[in-house]
């Protein structure tokens, strides 16, 4: 019977990585490899900054009168573009940061890590980076546009701030749209990390350990 040997030790058969520990490890990974983390986060930062600037300027413009339909269409196009930029940026940097850690992943598996631990660590890490990058991006993107209008038109530009135009007739209050943009950044970061993290976790440890980068 194959299981007999594992029970003789009398210790409960378990393999675990508590959530608190996962959070600590992911945080440590971000802070120790800060340069790497900044590059990953800047992918999402740029995308969300772009998106927020589009949202903010549409809100300021629509406060001064209804946006003409062709401008609305252009706005929707810009929103889509900014999301694509953000997604590609983060997929690329997540792929890089997982690939350069193959050896570490192999080692963790030798020490008894389950595939799900590896995936979880990478997802937490990228969610943290995504949310931080997106929050900064929303602040900076929105702030820069506000500054541009302030310089160009003076405080009068903010007398009537309308709703952010998403496109397809959908309008949202500006603050809500910015909060959603930040959450979206976090979500995109997680989605982009799933594939590389899962692929890395599935590798046989021997193959992961052999990789030299």
Task: Closer to another protein by CB, 17 or 183: give it.
Answer: 17
Positions in the binding site for another protein (CB under 8 A):
2-6, 9, 11-18, 21, 28-29, 32-33, 103-104, 106-115, 117, 204-207, 209
Q: How far is the CB of 112 from another protein (least distance, A)?
A: 2
Task: Closer to another protein by CB, 109 or 192: give it.
Answer: 109
CA angle 124, 125, 128 (to 5 degrees): 85
Q: How far is the CB of 127 from another protein (least distance, A)?
A: 18
Q: How far is the CB of 189 from another protein (least distance, A)?
A: 20
Task: Closer to another protein by CB, 2 or 152: give it.
Answer: 2
Q: How distant is the alpha carbon of residue 31 from its chain centre?
A: 17
The enclosing H or E element of 166 equals strand 164-167
Torsion angle in degrees (nearest 10) through CA of 158, 161, 166, 172: 140
What is the C-alpha separation between 113 and 107, in angstroms, rounded?
Answer: 9
Tokens 């900054």 locate to 49
Q: How far is the CB of 114 from another protein (least distance, A)?
A: 5
Q: How far is the CB of 33 from another protein (least distance, A)?
A: 7
Task: Closer to another protein by CB, 111 or 151: give it.
Answer: 111
Q: How far is the CB of 17 from another protein (least distance, A)?
A: 6
CB atoms within 10 A of CB 147: 10
Structure tokens at 66: 């209804």
Would you mind telling me the total number of residues written for the chain in this entry?
Answer: 213
Task: Closer to another protein by CB, 104 or 158: give it.
Answer: 104
DSSP, res 65: S
- Whether the CB-CB separation of 53 and 11 falls below 8 Å is answered with no
Task: Closer to another protein by CB, 118 or 145: give it.
Answer: 118
């Amino acid at each position: 019977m194959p299981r007999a040997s594992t029970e003789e030790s009398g210790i409960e058969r378990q393999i675990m990585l508590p959530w608190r520990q996962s959070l600590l490890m992911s945080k440590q990974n971000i802070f120790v490899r800060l340069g790497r983390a900044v590059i990953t986060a800047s992918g999402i930062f740029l995308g969300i900054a772009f998106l927020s600037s589009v949202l903010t300027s549409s809100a300021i413009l629509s406060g001064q009168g209804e946006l003409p339909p062709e401008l609305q269409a252009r706005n929707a196009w810009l929103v889509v573009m900014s999301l694509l930029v953000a997604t590609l940026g983060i997929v690329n940097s997540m792929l890089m940061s997982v690939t350069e850690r193959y050896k570490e992943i192999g080692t963790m598996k030798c020490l008894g890590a389950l595939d799900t631990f590896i995936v979880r660590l990478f997802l937490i890490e990228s969610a943290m980076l995504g949310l931080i990058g997106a929050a900064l991006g929303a602040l900076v993107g929105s702030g820069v546009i506000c500054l541009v209008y302030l310089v160009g038109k003076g405080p009068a530009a903010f007398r009537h701030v309308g709703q952010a135009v998403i496109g397809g007739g959908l309008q949202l209050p500006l603050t809500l749209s910015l909060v959603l943009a930040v959450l979206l950044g976090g979500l995109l970061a997680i989605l982009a990390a799933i594939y590389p993290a899962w692929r890395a976790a599935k590798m046989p440890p021997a193959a992961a350990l052999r990789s030299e980068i």
